[in-house]
Amino acid sequence: MIIVIDALNRDRFSDLVKEMFRLRARVFRDRLGWDVTITDEMEMDIYDSLDPAYVVSLDQDGHVVGCMRLLQTTGPHMLADVFADILEGEPPLRSSQIWEATRFCVDTERLSRGSRATNSISYVTSEVMVGAFEYGRDAGVLDAVAVIDPVMNRVMIRSGNAPYDYIGKTVDMGKAHALAALLDCSNERIDRIRTHAGIDGDVFLSDAEALSLSERGKALRTESVKSDLEIYCDEQIANATTAKERVDALRLKATLVEKIRSRTDVDA
Amino acid sequence: MKLIDLSKIPHSDDRFARFLDDVCQSLEFDHASYATFNPISGAIQGFANYRTDWIMHYTRKGLHRIDPTIHIGRKSIAPVDWNRLERTPHFQSVFNDAPAFGVAARGLTVPVRGPYGDVGLMSVTRDCSDQEWHLLKKKVIGNLQVAAVHMHDNVMSSDLPMAALNLPVLSTREREILQWVAEGKTQQDIGDILAISHRTVEVHLRSARTKLGALSTPQAIGRAVGLGMIKPG
């Protein structure tokens, strides 16, 4: 599911924004080897301080599994500056009806390689795109110029979402390359992506829904701390030197399991 | 959409107000306003076609200093429907008295970001049902985006230092395509000649119109010829 985070609601979603910056660090520095600035394991640049809009995909556990950053091309944006090499010194496009999409990525560690499951790379890639195009379309935007890497380009081509053209040239960003693709924010494209990925209905979460999904996810993850407890119990069992110690350790574990199970039942 | 071209009107005091009237007329809104933060002086400059007594009230109370449609609206990249604005004390201060002056709290603010950190906000209102508002937004949102950037760029270039910064810089592709249009080629022809999609041709034309401050392609051609960027067809 998609939540659009911008400067109007960003303070409500600071945890999700941090998680998104951490995902970006893993993708753009670790996987693609782009020359990006990392602070506290988070990838952020000056464009993040210019009040962009983020299209963020959350999985069922409230994790950030995909994201994209949007800026107007009438104002400061990356192709005008950082990615100027792509345009070979040419001035960038400027229109209130063209937005720039950058830092488009999905979490390939958390997502599966299958094709149609909602937790697959291709589904989440498509979902982020549908979210961005519908958000843009409703804002009166007709096209997007997206700075992407060649792998993302291939995923898009295979998801019924091939760019209709490219501008400038592909440039070296370190281990991987970057290129600028043109995509129309049209209903035809949105329908094509939706059909291909099997996305039905509204992809957008309200602020309240996104918050509750994120909170629920956090609560679930806190419960996984119990696996540390479990490790402790197992260690106690393994390290027991006498029969009594061993029985006590087994009893402790059984009691804890029972208590935790009954709590989960109550929650359910 | 037929809007008056601001750059064609002599620099009189009321040309921006006339443009706002024109926006209301052609896009079916009750009222329109525009505000900008001057990036050099920091002052808020504005134009509006609200009733004079509302403008007096608004100015006297200094509501521009707290108006959320301006101060919150500027942080968005997409048009902000006023129903998205939280009903804060500032919102109440601005809008509680508004109905008495014939101003509806049903509105939309289109933020425009310029290249030098300049921001302009065009707001429109209409007193109507939810359904009507929804349909109207859908119908005119694209034209409203075009009108907002036209207004903003013209206000910016009415300021001398900003005008010097805002000379249009066209790409080779944009000049090339304008040249072919000037010579009477269709977008489809041009796509074939340059071996690019006709949508790419349209994207470059749209960008060239914006950079040249033109509302239509013929205006853009006229201006590009005038600036010596292309040859007359």
Identify the band that residue A219 occupies on the pLDDT scale cut at 50, 70 and 90.
Answer: confident
Q: What is the pLDDT of residue B1?
A: 62
Give me the residue from A6, A75, A95 closest to B206, CB to CB: A95
Q: What is the pLDDT of residues A62-82, one digit of tens each?
A: 999 999 999 999 999 999 988
B122 contacts on A by Cβ (under 8 Å) = none
Residue A102, CA distances (Å) to A174, A266, B106 in order? 17, 44, 33
How would residue B41 be classed by pLDDT, with cut points 50, 70 and 90? confident
Average pLDDT over residues B172-195: 96
Task: Please give the CATH number for the structural domain made up of B6-163.
Answer: 3.30.450.80
**Is it the case that residue B11 has pLDDT exceeding 70?**
no
Nearest to B220 by CA among B151, B152, B174: B174
| pLDDT number for residue B4 | 76
**Chain B nearest-CA residue for A91:** B171
Of B76, B114, B143, the CB nearest to A6: B76
What's the rounded mean pLDDT across residues B42-48? 85
Whether A226 shows a pLDDT value over 60: the answer reads no
Task: Give the bridge partners for B113, in sequence order.
Answer: B119
pLDDT for the residue A261: 64
Distance CA(B169)–CA(A255), nearest Å, equals 74
Domain edges within chain A: 2-220, 225-267
User: Considering only alpha carbons, which residue of chain A is nearest residue B149?
Assistant: A96
- State the Cα–Cα distance between residues A62 and A232, nearest whole angstrom: 28
ipTM score of complex: 0.91
Query: pLDDT digits over B59-90, tens only?
Result: 999 999 899 999 999 999 999 999 999 999 99
Residue A148: the pLDDT is 95
Distance to chain A for B52, nearest Cα, Å: 31
Mean residue pLDDT of chain B comes to 91
Provide the token pair at A268. 């359910």
Note whether B111 and B80 are within 8 A (CB).
yes
Minimal Cβ distance to A94: which of B77, B146, B207: B207
By C-alpha distance, which of B89, B128, B103 is closest to B48? Answer: B103
Residues of A in contact with B170 (CB under 8 A): 91
* Nearest Cα to Cα of residue B162 among B25, B33, B63, B45: B45
Share of chain A above pLDDT 70, in %: 94
Query: b/e per residue, A79-88, with b = 16+ CB within 10 A?
Result: bbebbbebbe
Q: What is the pLDDT of residues A22-63, one digit of tens each?
A: 999 999 999 999 889 999 999 999 999 999 999 999 999 999
Cβ–Cβ below 8 Å for B145 and A138 = no
C-alpha span between B94 and A220 (Å, rounded): 43
Q: Which of B37, B74, B75, B77 to mutate to test the interface with A (most CBs of A within 10 A)?
A: B77
Residue A68's pLDDT is 98
B19 — pLDDT class (breaks 50, 70, 90): very high
Q: What's the whole-number average pLDDT of chain A?
A: 90
Which candidate from B75, B143, B172 shows the least CB-CB separation from A8? B75
Contacts of B115 in chain A (CB under 8 A): 74-76, 80, 94
Residue among A140, A60, A71, A63 nearest A104 (CA): A71
Is residue A260 over pLDDT 60? yes
DSSP 8-class letter at A206: P
| Token digits of residue B61 | 């109370």
Residue B113: the pLDDT is 95
Cβ neighbours of residue A145 closer than 8 Å, sequence gap 6 or more: A73, A79, A92, A93, A98, A99, A100, A101, A167, A180, A181, A182, A183
Find out whether A34 and A108 touch, Cβ atoms under 8 Å.
Answer: no
Mean pLDDT check: name the lowest of A107-111, A119-123, A154-158, A259-263: A259-263
Centre a 10 Å sphere on the Cβ of residue B74 and count the other Cβ atoms it contains: 20
User: Residue ranges per domain, chain B?
Assistant: 6-163, 168-226
Q: What is the CATH number of domain B168-226?
A: 1.10.10.10
Nearest residue in B to A94, CA atom? B207
C-alpha to C-alpha distance for A81 and A90, rounded to whole angstroms = 11
The answer to whether the Cβ–Cβ distance between A90 and B72 falls below 8 Å is no
Q: Tell me the residue ranges of DSSP E strands in chain A.
A: 2-5, 38-39, 42-43, 53-58, 64-72, 98-106, 143-148, 165-172, 177-184
**Do A199 and A193 contact (CB within 8 A), yes or no?**
yes
Q: What's the per-residue H, E or C state across chain B?
A: CCCCCHHHCCCCCCHHHHHHHHHHHHHCCCEEEEEEECCCCCCEEEEECCCHHHHHHHHHCCHHHCCHHHHCHHHCCCCEEHHHCCCCHHHHHHHCCHHHHCCCCCEEEEEEECCCCCEEEEEEECCCCHHHHHHHHHHHHHHHHHHHHHHHHHHHHCCHHHHHHCCCCCCHHHHHHHHHHHCCCCHHHHHHHHCCCHHHHHHHHHHHHHHCCCCCHHHHHHHHHHCCCCCCC
pLDDT band for position A267 (50/70/90)?
Answer: very low
pLDDT at A238: 80
- CA-nearest residue to A135 within chain B is B78
With beta carbons less than 8 A apart as the criterion, state whether B39 and B118 touch: yes
pLDDT over 60 (residue A268): no
Best probe of the B interface among A8, A138, A142, A166, by most B CBs < 10 A, is A8
Give the closest of B142, B170, B199 to A91, CB-based: B170
Option in A80, A90, A96 nearest B146 (CB): A96
Chain B positions in Cβ-Cβ contact with residue A143 (cut-off 8 Å): 199, 203
Contacts of B114 in chain A (CB under 8 A): 74-75
For residue A70, which residues of chain B lie inside 8 Å, CB to CB?
77
Min Cα distance A90 → chain B (Å) is: 5
* Yes or no, beta carbons of B80 and A8 under 8 Å apart: yes
Is the pLDDT assigned to residue A263 strictly greater than 80?
Answer: no
Q: Provide φ and ψ at B124, rounded to 5°.
A: -130, 150
Mean pLDDT to the nearest integer, B11-16:
77
Average pLDDT over residues B135-160: 92
Lowest mean pLDDT among A89-103, B94-108, B184-198: B94-108
CB contact at 8 A, A92 and A75:
no
> Of the CATH numbers 1.20.140.70, 3.40.630.30, 3.90.340.10, 3.90.550.10, which one belongs to the domain with range A2-220?
3.40.630.30
Residue B78 burial (C-beta neighbours within 10 Å; 0-12, 13-18, 19+):
buried
